Amino acid sequence: MTTLLSPVREQSLAERISERLPNGLLATQTGCDGVSILWIAATDLRPTFAALKAAASLMLLDLTAIDERERTHRDGQPESAFTVVYHLMSLATRTDEVRIKVPLGAAAPTLPSICDLWPNANWYEREVWDLFGIHFQNHPSLRRILTPPTWTGHPLRKDHHARATEMPPYSLTEDHEAQEQDALRFDPSAWGMRRHSDHSDFMFLNLGPNHPSVHGVFRIVLQLEGERIVDAVPDIGFHHRGAEKMGERQSWHTYIPYTDRVDYLGGVMNNFPYVMAVETLAGITVPPRAQMIRVMLAELFRIASHLVFYGTMAQDVGQLSPVFYMFTDRERVFGIIEAICGFRMHPAWFRIGGVTMDLPNGWEGLIRDFLHDLPQRLDEYDAMVMRNPIFRARTKGIGAYTTAEAIEWGVTGPGLRATGLEWDYRKHAPYACYDQLEFDIPTGANGDCYDRIAVHVEEIRQSLRIIRQCVDNMPAGPVKADHPLTTPPPKARTMHNIETLIHHFLSVSWGPVIPPGEARASIEATKGVNTYTLISDGGTTCYRTRIRTPSFAHLQMLPLLSRGIMVADLIAILGSIDFVMADADR
Amino acid sequence: MTSSALLTIILMPFLLLALATVLTWVERRLLGLWQDRYGPNRVGPGGLFQAVADGIKILFKQDWIPPFADKGVFILAPAIGMMTVLLSFAVIPFTMGIGIASNLNVGLLFILGMMGLGVYAVVLAGWSSNSKFALLGGMRAAAQMISYEVFMGLSLLGVVMMAGSFSLHDIVTAQAGLWFIIPQCLGFAVFLLAGIAETHRLPFDLPEGENELGAGFHTEYSGMKFGMFFIAEYAGIVLISSLVTTLYLGGWRGPLLPPAVWFLLKTGSMVAFFILLRASLPRPRYDQLMALGWKVLLPLSLLNVMVTGTLLMLRASL
């Protein structure tokens, strides 16, 4: 049973890149997850990416940075104070996946922007600028994205404080208040918008951050001509809680509950990539029963999340009732989850090496009842929502994009499948026990709002199918790996002699010490590909925790979809994108 | 003028206001029923006094006028909304005897006129608030209500032609043999749709469009001024329902039960139908609504007028 990503991969893409480079690679490595890491010089960056862009249809999955100044285990890596990481992935083959790293100095780190090559680099580069202070030349609008414009410092640098108690007590002086107020004043040109056209003055409408249809704290500044949208500029960061920074403070084990709250509708789905990444670093093999339990719970959460999506989507186009029916179903899902985990929305139930505890007595009955009831209710919802002529008129042909555009913008999940591409990370690179389960990948044809909703609905049915197989084939055995780094360690192995007691005490109080390395784990989360990239420096905490979330990527596409449509269509599009602001802002 | 007539005039507005207030509770309970939940059930028997509690709460809320609003018009707008709806009830014949001016020979025109004035409430509220969401709501309201008034007027022509009178009393009298809903089914459908648009209720609640515009034209209103819009909306539902009853469902006519009960029963069912619509349908987009009006409802109402006229002429010539 191999449950972790296979470390043996072809190096085709990596080889192709290294051939093209005029100065050659600075270094090559392979991460614990088997993905090759290529170090290139900053001067080679743009030629390399231009060549890559021309060579293959690659998705820029992630773009982030590492503050290397306090890292001790850097064997085989070029000297650098900051490292910018580009993660490229081919949707066609699993082998074409590569992390490209660029070393930068400590003083005024600068890189050329690749926004013109991959449009979704825009927000990622802004994020790296905001959190690390790395400047990107020729970026169209290099502003802070997650922190407020008046913020000083770059939070993910190692010398930036991590919590308020490290700072003097906060006080708001009059000058400071005036300065903050001044920063809030709206200036269209700063957002890249004009006040007038040749014929008319535009109206600027501030949709959010507390608007009923933006699903959380999300702000979109609309440039309107009548009710028609000329331009829309999304503004995020209101929900930023520094989840990545917290990862550098919490022990490997105590960070698990924080992950639950990233996509707060996804529950244990968020634990999944995190514990998988830690297990990859530690070399833990998870027993089959734990794998199956994980998959079953993750799919239950997918259903819960999709039901929220379905109901709120109907409500966004003015249909009041479906959301109540769907929340009733969601309550049943939570009933099952509560019976198994003891919590409802944020159970933090996965553990490094397995799950917290075994399934309770009678769990099968609960799930079988639910599996029996939900399909009929889904059929009713089809009649009520999907076949409703007004609903169809509001969602068909609205907010459509092509597969090529989706790949350009880093769209994954139902938004990508709605364009007709049969791509699901669970099939692309099966993790846990998805390779043993049968399910289909629902796709759309037009990539419009209606197709996105239809894909979500069909995914609920597929999740039910997966859960049924889990219930029918649940293997017996332990729910935690027999490995020294499994956390918390099994109680049965302590109390034998002083050694076992010390080991148990240490891994409960300090938490495990994970060997140095770098690993990434991705899953098909409720909204798209969710990735955790963890760097261990051989300590009890993670050196760098990178969370790549689907919502961040998907929201970035909004201006492209909203030009020339009505405000009401924008609301339908927002509903159909299925985002959670905590997932976008982390 | 007799004292009983005076009493009717004085009592009627209070009765209507009380009815509209209770209707807010009825709607919430019915929505609860249809949406698998309870709705307000704690205050009084079955939660009936919830309406009273809400009324008291809203009366004691701070009555805030935003500093950027056009104060005079801002205050006037809800008053217009309330007044036009209440005045319209003057010409509704509840039974043969009960009614304030149900014999007014231009009763139907009076109601159409009042509805025309009612548009001002929404438009002025949206305009005077000086807020963008309110302005967009007011703009939608102006376009929607003015266009739907056209079809509403035209759809009623058939009824008027058949009854030969604009007096609502005469119209009910003319339905002695057959309720107008049967010969005038097309007109009825157009009138109902126009009526929903006129009261800006879901699915035609675009002036409010909470998912897009927050609260649309009354975004900036609070306290009792918001309460007046709220009550006027519910009084509007009662008005449209009683109009449907009067014009198409034979008014107070019906076997066995007393006329007043028949009137209440028919109006009540119409109100429940309005609420059911709200529970079940999504909202079309603004341009889809306008397209439906001008491209479907207008030709239909014209067709209705033409067919009715032709048939009446044929019958007269026989």
Q: Is A453 in CB contact (< 8 Å) with chain B? A: no
- How far apart are the C-alpha atoms of A514 and A486, rounded to whole Å? 10
Angle ∠(A155,A159,A160) on CA atoms, nearest 5: 30
Q: What is the DSSP string of A442-474?
A: ---SS-SHHHHHHHHHHHHHHHHHHHHHHHHTP
Per-residue pLDDT of chain A (586 residues; tens, 9 = 90+): 333 444 444 446 777 777 777 667 777 777 777 788 888 888 888 888 887 787 777 888 899 999 988 888 888 788 888 999 998 888 877 777 888 888 888 888 888 988 888 888 999 999 999 999 899 888 888 888 888 888 888 999 888 888 888 888 888 899 989 988 888 888 877 777 777 777 777 888 888 788 877 787 888 888 888 778 888 888 888 889 889 999 888 889 899 999 998 988 888 999 999 999 999 988 888 999 999 999 999 999 999 999 999 999 988 888 888 999 999 999 999 999 999 988 888 988 998 888 988 889 888 898 999 999 999 999 999 988 998 888 888 888 888 888 888 888 889 989 899 998 888 888 888 888 888 888 899 988 888 899 999 999 999 999 999 999 999 998 988 888 888 788 777 777 777 788 878 888 888 888 888 889 888 899 999 998 999 999 998 888 999 999 999 999 888 888 888 888 888 888 888 888 888 888 888 8
- Which of A280-284, B61-65, B166-170 has maximum average pLDDT? A280-284
Closest by CA to A99, choosing from A155, A27, A158, is A27
Strand (E) or helix (H) holding A82: strand A82-90
Nearest residue of B to residue A213 by CA position? B211
Please state the length of chain B. Answer: 318
Q: What is the DSSP string of B174-199?
A: HTSSS-TTTTTHHHHHHHHHHHHHHT
Residue B315 parent element (H or E): helix B298-317
Q: Are A290 and A480 in contact (CB under 8 A)?
A: yes
Q: Which of A567, A569, A570, A576 to mutate to test the interface with B (most CBs of B within 10 A)?
A: A567
* Pairwise CA distance, residues A572 & A306, whole Å: 16
pLDDT of residue A303: 93
Which residues of chain A neighbour B136 with C-beta distances below 8 Å? 205, 227, 567
> What are the φ/ψ torsions at residue A259 (nearest 5 degrees)?
-65, -35
State the first-to-last Cα distance of chain B, in angstroms, to the nearest integer.
44
pLDDT of the residue at A16: 72
SS3 assignment, position B98: coil
The whole-angstrom separation of Cα B253 and Cα B173 is 9
Answer yes or no: are the C-beta atoms of B221 and B143 closer than 8 Å: no
Instruction: Give the residue among B93, B118, B109, B113 at the shortest CA–CA distance from B242.
Output: B93
Cα(B152)–Cα(B244) distance, integer angstroms? 12
Which A-chain residues 503-532 have CB contacts (< 8 A) with chain B? none
| Contact criterion met (CB below 8 Å) for B98 and B160 | no
> Could you tell me the CA-to-CA distances from B1 to B8, B87, B89, B168, B277 in Å, in that order?
11, 19, 19, 21, 42
Using CB atoms within 10 A of its CB, is residue A539 exposed (0-12), middle (13-18) or buried (19+)?
A: middle
Shortest CA gap A384–chain B (Å) = 8
User: Radius of gyration of chain A from Cα atoms?
Assistant: 24
Q: In whole angstroms, what is the distance from residue B35 CA to residue A57 CA?
A: 47
Distance CA A166, CA B52 (A): 53
Q: Is B214 on the interface with A (CB under 8 A)?
A: yes
Partnered with residue A38 across adjacent β-strands are A28, A100
Inter-chain touch B212–A213, beta carbons under 8 Å: yes
Q: What is the maximal distance between C-alpha atoms in chain A? A: 85
At residue A299, the pLDDT reads: 92
- CB contact under 8 Å between B36 and A325, yes or no, is yes
* CB atoms B132 and A388 under 8 Å: no
Whether B153 and B112 have beta carbons less than 8 Å apart is answered as yes
Contact A102, A83 (CB under 8 A): yes
| C-alpha–C-alpha distance, residues A117 and A113, integer Å | 9
Which is nearest to A144 in space by CA: A161, A120, A125? A125
- Cβ–Cβ gap B31/A227 under 8 Å: no
Pairing of strands A36-39, A97-104: parallel
Q: What would the mean pLDDT of B201-205 be, rounded to a whole number?
A: 77
Cα distance from N-terminal residue to C-terminal residue, chain A? 34
pLDDT given at position A457:
92
In this prediction, residue A8 carries a pLDDT of 43
Averaged pLDDT, B21-34 = 88
Q: Which residue of B has its CA nearest to A390?
A: B284
**Peptide bond just before A22 cis, omega within 30 deg:** no
| Residue B172 CB-half CA count within 13 A | 26
Residue A185, judged by CB atoms within 10 A of its CB (0-12, 13-18, 19+), counts as exposed
Q: Which residues of A touch B279 (CB under 8 A)?
A: 320-321
Structure tokens at A4: 């972790």
Using CB atoms and an 8 Å cut-off, which of residues 202-231 of chain A contact chain B?
Answer: 203, 205-206, 211-213, 226-227
A397: left (phi over 0), alpha (psi -120 to 50) or beta: left
Which of chain B's residues have a Cβ under 8 Å away from the Cβ of A213?
Answer: 211-212
In the block, residue with structure tokens 């994954």: A412
Give yes or no for residue B272 having a pLDDT over 70: yes
Distance CA A130, CA A109 (A): 13
**How far apart are the C-alpha atoms of A272 and A504, rounded to whole Å?**
24
Mean pLDDT of B157-173: 83
Strands lying side by side in the sheet with A58-67:
A27-30, A36-39, A97-104, A82-90, A58-67
C-alpha–C-alpha distance, residues A248 and A251, integer Å: 8
Question: pLDDT by residue (tens digit) across B217-260?
Answer: 888 888 888 888 888 888 888 889 988 888 888 877 778 888 88
Has residue B138 got a pLDDT over 60?
A: yes
Give me A405's structure tokens.
């555009």
3-class secondary structure, A565: coil
> pLDDT confidence of B209, banded at 50, 70, 90?
low
pLDDT at A76: 79
B316: Cβ contacts below 8 Å, ≥ 6 apart: none
pLDDT score, position A294: 92
Q: What is the pLDDT of residue A4?
A: 41
Give the model's confidence band at B1: pLDDT under 50 very low, under 70 low, under 90 confident, else very high.
low
Sign of torsion over alpha carbons A104, A110, A116, A122: positive
The Cα–Cα gap between B193 and B299 comes to 14
**Cβ–Cβ < 8 Å for B240, B198:** yes
Q: Which residues partner with A223 through β-bridges?
A: A204, A231
